[in-house]
């Protein structure tokens, strides 16, 4: 019996227009009635996620935010793993010297970026509700969970191996798209956050269902017996999963929840 469901957002639960499936809230009502916990698992910060769900639902959902750097359960922040300040400052310095990266600093109060023009600000605004231009990343005094890095040379073959070669286990560098990667503290991932949530709720991996589409979902997908990669997902991620869900524009997540959990 399924007791816990975790779903990635962009490319998975949300369609290409960044909207929830039309039947999401009726399905969520059924899950709540059956005491099945639905977990939003995203690379976005909590401030970029909460507005997608009416206030009356937020305390009935759990949230894995910033690719596992913080979890929100019953409306309270738990299992928070921010970047250490010295590691953060070294990372900012390394990225600045390359000249290849565009950075978005994701923190508890929102996200921060340099003033790089209207086009980039609009792109950030598609994913983050609150974003603030700054003149110097070292002036940010917020609790920093992760850094989203845009690498137009390609994350898998350029940015990810470059940063891993410098920082090693100090950081977890996860490709979240062809030109985007998320950088968190070492050991932080959606998978570690999901396993901690399973322990808190007393749920086994055999009772867990998970949905994703890209490499930053891989550890989470491997922490659930009912693992689903979206039809629109990366081919290598599909190989890690037991099931393939219909694509994100077809409401694949809710369709599979109805079939396997309800």
Tens digits of per-residue pLDDT, 31-66?
999 999 999 999 988 988 988 999 999 999 999 999
Do 179 and 155 form a contact (C-beta atoms < 8 A)? yes
The full set of domains in the chain, from first to last, is 4-80+189-260 (3.40.50.1000), 85-185 (3.30.1240.10)
Do 66 and 95 form a contact (C-beta atoms < 8 A)? no
pLDDT of residue 243: 98
- pLDDT at 131 > cutoff 90: no
* Predicted confidence band of residue 192 (pLDDT cuts 50, 70, 90): very high
Mean pLDDT across the chain, nearest whole number?
93
pLDDT of residue 120: 65
Distance CA 2, CA 219 (A): 19
Average pLDDT over residues 196-214: 97
- pLDDT at 124 > cutoff 70: no
pLDDT of residue 188: 96
* Predicted confidence band of residue 127 (pLDDT cuts 50, 70, 90): low
Average pLDDT over residues 202-220: 97
Average pLDDT over residues 172-182: 90
Q: What percent of the chain has pLDDT over 70?
A: 94
User: For residue 153, which phi and psi values (nearest 5 degrees)?
Assistant: -85, -10
pLDDT of residue 255: 98
Q: How is residue 73 written in tokens? A: 């359960």
Q: How is residue 106 written in tokens? A: 């994701």
Average pLDDT over residues 248-255: 98
Average pLDDT over residues 242-260: 98
Q: What percent of the chain has pLDDT over 90?
A: 78
Q: How is residue 141 written in tokens? A: 């005094």
pLDDT of residue 125: 61
Distance CA 134, CA 129 (A): 16
Average pLDDT over residues 134-146: 93
Q: How many C-beta neighbours within 10 Å does residue 143 have?
A: 14
Comparison of pLDDT for 127 and 218, the residue scoring more? 218
Q: Give the position of tokens 């250490």.
A: 84
- pLDDT at 126 > cutoff 80: no
């Amino acid at each position: 019996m399924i007791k816990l469901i975790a779903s990635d957002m962009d490319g998975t639960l949300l369609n290409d227009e960044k909207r929830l499936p039309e039947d999401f809230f009726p399905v969520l009502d059924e899950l709540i009635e059956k005491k099945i916990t639905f977990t939003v698992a995203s690379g976005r910060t909590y401030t970029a996620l909460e507005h997608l769900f009416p206030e009356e639902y937020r305390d009935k959902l759990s949230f894995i935010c910033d690719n596992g750097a913080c979890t929100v359960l019953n409306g309270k922040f738990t299992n928070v793993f921010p970047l250490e300040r010295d590691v953060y400052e070294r990372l900012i310095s390394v990225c600045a010297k390359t000249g290849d990266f565009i950075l978005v600093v994701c923190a508890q109060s929102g996200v921060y970026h340099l003033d790089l023009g209207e086009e980039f600000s609009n792109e950030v605004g598609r994913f983050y509700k609150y974003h603030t231009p700054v003149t110097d990343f070292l002036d940010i005094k917020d609790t920093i969970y992760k850094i989203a890095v845009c690498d137009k040379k390609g994350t898998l073959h350029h940015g990810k191996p470059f940063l891993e070669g410098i920082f090693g286990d100090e950081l977890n560098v996860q490709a979240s798209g062809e030109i985007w990667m998320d950088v968190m503290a070492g050991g932080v991932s959606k998978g570690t956050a999901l396993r901690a949530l399973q322990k808190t709720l007393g749920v086994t991996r055999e009772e867990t269902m998970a949905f994703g589409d890209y490499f930053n979902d891989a550890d989470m997908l491997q922490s659930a017996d009912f693992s689903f990669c979206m039809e629109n997902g990366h081919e290598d991620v599909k190989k890690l999963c037991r099931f393939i869900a219909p694509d994100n524009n077809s409401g694949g997540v809710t369709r599979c929840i109805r079939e396997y959990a309800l």
